[in-house]
Structure 1
Amino acid sequence: MCTRILWNTHDHAVLAGRTMDWPESTEPVLTVFPRGVRRDGGKLGGSTVVADNPLTWTSRFGSLVTTVYGAGTVDGFNERGLAAHMLYLDVTELAPRDPGRPGLQIALWIQYLLDSAATVEEALGLLDTFQLVMVEMRGFAATVHVALEDASGDSAIIEHVAGERKVHHDRAYTVMTNEPDYDVQLRLLEQQERTARELGHDEPGGDVPLPGNVNPVDRFQRAAYFSALLPKPADERQAVAAILAVTRNASVPFGAPYGSGDFAIYNTEYRTVCDLTNRRYFFELATSPNLVWAEIDRFDLSPGAPVMALDPDRIDLTGDVSEQFAQSSTAF
């Protein structure tokens, strides 16, 4: 379930692609939040889930995101070029609640970072200002880890395993999947590179064997392999097409075998690409033949401006849909 790929090694744009894999519709809505939005990190929809010392804040930056179940943010970026992506991680375990620390329900985790930070460094500096609180949405516990990247190409992966926060911070950390935890994913990548060297390949290519299943371990190795093979693009259009090609390769097709046990496998619901250089957000619903995108610079992000939203589940949408957004009452 879910794959993230960062491409930060060419001159045209810093791009991050992701797949959203889930057993049902997450009711995605493309949403633009202006600066100056006041938020309560103890709210989930209309309910209070952190009654004791919830984190509250006012957004410093505007953002263009995809929401999940109308209750939180799962993907997107802000006007300064910081992007964030939530991916499922079954082994996620948060520390016991400490009422002495401001509590933030986990579905608002990346929205808080996008509201408050301009870079990966700034976002990481905020992690000690709150304590995450686990919630459930539609019967699913929000056991997630987060990928961050910014317009400079910096990257970080944040996880909570056995009650301890782990941060992997390096622009070389470009590929992740939902499972297993990132320490294991890095070991798998080392194993893949070692296999290539044993076959006489200093770089990816040639006869290096690739796993072909849809489980997260196989998807991680394919995404890393094909990301390393991407040719230098001639322009932004080629760059976006290239990163989409890799995300499609790492997607889970309809009818793919579902796993059981540690790694359940779900179909890909949609794919996104964040262009952090040109500030465009691309969205591709798996049940639609059309790719759509929006440009954050075309929206009014000043304090007091309305929240704008667009339901992407429309067959008539294609190309630049910035003008199709309408005022929204989304309040979280």
Structure 2
Amino acid sequence: MSTAFHIYQKGINLVCKNQDVQYDGVYMFTNQRGIQKTAMIMPPDKPTSWVSIYGSITISQIGKESPNGGINEMGLVVEQTTLWQTEYPTLDERPALGELQWIQYLLDTCSTVQEALNAASIIRIGQSTSKLHYLLADRHGERAIVEFLDGEMIVHRENVSFPIISNTP
């Protein structure tokens, strides 16, 4: 079981994660500022396009632009674990991107958890291959857990004294 959690106490700000699947290789990528990007998504979805505002470091078993998690230069961290109950939103007017590119989009364009939540509301995860939920944390100690249940984005933020995600809601 993969697990990720955030600790923010007495000036200590840590995000920790384990991986429950063994891989022969994992890649670490640096992602530069000022790069024009477009989501890898097929019609009928309209792909999300953006310019990276922040640089980041990400980890992936798949390749660049599809991270399993990472941190940007402003201290925003986005991590994920599998959540089998995930149901992403259905096709609508919002531009879409994949569930891993969603992580890259947030790291590229947001500096805080609040900015990430605002950005997440104007895009949509479409054509997914993995069912995930996400842990977001920033350098100021703000944090949120984001899940997609019954096609709706659910944000757990209030009264989350020890945010932890694993493979259950």
- Please indicate, yes or no, whether the TM-score normalized by the shorter chain is above 0.5: yes
Secondary structure of 1:125's counterpart equals helix
Matched, 1:157 2:145: yes
Q: 1:26 to 1:35 in 2, by over 3 A?
A: farther
1:7 corresponds to which letter in structure 2?
Answer: I
The residue aligned with 2:54 is 61
Quick one: distance in 2 between partners of 1:26 and 1:170? Answer: 39
Query: Following TM superposition, by how much is the alpha carbon of 1:129 offset from its aligned partner in structure 2, in angstroms?
Result: 1.3
Q: Does residue 35 in structure 1 map to residue 29 in structure 2? A: no
For residues 67 and 27 of structure 1, the distance between their equivalents in structure 2, rounded to whole angstroms, comes to 9
Aligned Cα RMSD in Å? 1.8
> What is aligned with 1:5?
5
Equivalence for 1:19: 18
CA contact (8 A) 2:145 2:163 kept: no
**2:86 maps to 1:92:** yes
Q: Is the contact between residue 4 and residue 80 of structure 2 (CA under 8 Å) also seen in structure 1? A: no
Q: How many equivalent residue pairs?
A: 168
Aligned-partner Cα distance in 2 for 1:152–1:5: 16
**1:147 is aligned to 2:147:** no
Q: How far apart, CA to CA, are the structure 2 residues paired with 1:171 and 1:149?
A: 15
Give distance in 2, aligned partners of 1:122 and 1:171.
Answer: 20
Measure, in 2, the Cα distance between the counterparts of 1:150 and 1:177.
Answer: 16
TM-score normalised over the length of structure 1: 0.48
2:76 corresponds to which residue? 82
2:104 corresponds to which of 107, 111, 119: 111
Q: Of the candidates 95, 120, 124, which is equivalent to residue 127 of structure 1?
A: 120
Q: 1:157-306 alignment to 2 at 5 Å?
A: 157-170=145-158, 172-181=160-169
Contact 2:144–2:163 (8 Å) recurs in 1: no
Rg larger for: 1
Provide closer, same or farther for how the CA distance between residues 26 and 53 of structure 1 changes in structure 2, counting only shifts above 3 A: farther
Give unmatched runs, 5+ long, in structure 2: none
Provide closer, same or farther for how the CA distance between residues 50 and 116 of structure 1 changes in structure 2, counting only shifts above 3 A.
Answer: farther
Amino acid at match of 1:4: A
Deviation at 1:171, TM superposition (A): 7.3
Contact 1:50–1:133 (Cα < 8 Å) also in 2: no
User: 1:155·1:173 contact (CA, 8 Å) conserved in 2?
Assistant: no
Q: Is the 1:104–1:132 Cα contact (8 Å) retained in structure 2?
A: yes
What amino acid sits opposite 1:14 in the alignment?
Answer: N
Q: Which residue of 2 aligns with 1:212?
A: none
Instruction: Summarize the Cα distance change of 1:124–1:14 in structure 2 as closer, same or farther, 3 Å threshold.
Output: same
Distance apart, 1:135 and its partner CA: 2.4
Which structure 1 residue ranges, 5 or more long, are not aligned? 137-141, 182-332
- Give the alignment's TM-score, normalised by structure 2: 0.91
Instruction: Give the % identical residues.
Output: 29
Secondary structure (helix, strand or coil) at the match of 2:33 reads: coil
